[in-house]
Amino acid sequence: MKQFIDHTLLKPTASLQQIEQLCQEAKENEFFAVCVNGCWVKQAVSFLKDSDVKVAAVVGFPLGAMHTKAKVFEAKQAVADGAQEIDMVLNLGNFKSENYHAVEEDIAAVKEAIGDCTLKVILETCYLEEEEIVKACELAVAAKADFVKTSTGFGSAGATLEHVKLMKSCVGKQAEVKASGGIRDRATAVKFIEAGATRIGTSSGIKIVTDI
């Protein structure tokens, strides 16, 4: 279970001491990664030295409505600071406007900017109908994203099993699925993994791996 966990702290009030604690917990529990805001990447990398825990940074977070150039700059800076994974937010405004070319180009530009680093695209599924989730997955795959991800955790709702199953059916073996938002115990995490998620984004990682 522990290798499924992206141990996450994205609160705007998160302090350096809390980021250090997050990283220490990730090392002790051998989580796959920590997920932090961009300003903390350098510090997280330092805290995690001599461990296998990766650092993921969010980009265009939590709204996704930034200019593509801003997302690219943010992603490049995060990678330069040591991030190995980028979790970017889909441009929902362009998506809802059916400007699908712009959505795909937005994702592709970030992927090009980060090279071999892992790119996860946050769809914010609580705002999408099922057919829209399918389309968003298609665009992410076409743009060479490595993962599609359910939620920021700041939307009106988090991950659902139905959405994860749908996303996995859409991307197949072309990408992986990260479930995030509202996953707070082991039993729930197991259900999402069984539904097709290969990564769980949560601030409750300790509880999940210690639940019996």
Which residues carry out catalysis?
87, 149, 178
> Are 187 and 212 spatial neighbours (Cβ–Cβ below 8 Å)?
no
Question: Any idea what DSSP says for residue 150?
Answer: -
206: exposed, middle or buried (C-beta count within 10 Å: 0-12, 13-18, 19+)?
Answer: middle
> Are 185 and 207 spatial neighbours (Cβ–Cβ below 8 Å)?
yes
Rounded CA separation 183/98 (Å) = 31
Rounded CA separation 43/57 (Å) = 12
